[in-house]
A and B are shown apart, each in its own frame.
Chain A
């Protein structure tokens, strides 16, 4: 196709009523084609599925972290319950003083202890 014909084709493609369905085909016949470079689809597949692996690794990491957190949290809660239970058994109450180990001391004895009088 000559340059003048191509110019006409380009301009006519912008007429609202022109049927444009075969313009691209005619341009391709004239050597005007738009293609990606060789190996395009392979590159896409590599990128898509290597990104997928990274995402999977991230998901695995998050899962491991959640599992570890749950284990630690459960162990911690169990330790606190045992501690409270043992305090209750030894002191007979779970007051703040018994919790911090002051249940058997009077305030005066603490003052004596601290001041030496």
Chain B
């Protein structure tokens, strides 16, 4: 199980403490959820130079919107939604930028950095996943990221992306088709 979360009272305590200016409490939230955010942001944007900046933005936005967090949903869900929104906005921004200044796709700016480079097989595996992700249409890529990297069910994916379940199901099948085509070439 990879979906990180605290139990609710602990989560509420951390949020309350952070709202009262407790740096340590907020630091704990950052440490706990940074990997989850990294999976979404880096899965969507690749290991690009901007991914860390977007990741930081996610937590800055979280800090300033903590007062709006009512505890009805899990904190992880709340953070994940911020991460998804900021990442999709960044993709839109890049799309506009590249359509204005370049005819090339933006995949060329991704640099693939592998966590454990001493093993050739691991490096290849990492590159394969990154390349497959980045070659996908963003609307399918986010579905793959939510399912493969975050382990969300179809229903959870729909809730996370604010999409009807039917739309997610249809995108899953189209994404699978696109992924098959991409993987054949890799």
Contacts and interface: CB of A to CB of B under 8 A. Distances in A.
Interface stretch (A6-14, A58-66, A100-108): A6-14
A41 to B, nearest CB: 5
A107 B98 CA distance: 78
B148 A13 contact: yes
Given A7-B183, A16-B169, A37 B52 contact: yes
A27 B132 CA distance: 14
Contact of A48 (B60, B126, B128): B60
B128 A3 contact: yes
Interface stretch (A17-25, A74-82, A84-92): A17-25
Nearest to B54: A36
A72 interface: no
Nearest to B118: A31
Interface string B15-48: 0000000010011001100110111011100010
**Taking each of A35, A44, A45, which has the highest tally of chain B beta carbons within 10 Å of its own beta carbon?**
A44
Contact of A31 (B23, B42, B55, B114): B114
B175 interface: yes
A68 B105 CA distance: 56
A11 B180 contact: yes
B164 interface: no
B172 A27 contact: no
B115 A20 contact: no
B116 interface: yes
B148 A49 contact: no
B125 A6 contact: yes
A113 interface: no
A57 interface: no
A7 B131 CA distance: 12
Nearest to B61: A48
B147 interface: yes
Contacts of A3: 124-125, 128
Interface of A: 1-3, 6-7, 9-11, 13-16, 18-25, 27, 30-37, 40-41, 43-45, 47-49, 51
13 contacts: A7-B128, A14-B144, A14-B173, A16-B173, A30-B121, A32-B122, A33-B126, A34-B47, A35-B35, A36-B38, A40-B56, A41-B31, A48-B26
Given A1-B125, A14-B172, A49-B23, 15 more contacts: A6-B128, A10-B129, A13-B144, A14-B175, A20-B148, A21-B2, A22-B151, A25-B2, A31-B119, A31-B122, A34-B47, A35-B115, A36-B34, A43-B56, A45-B26
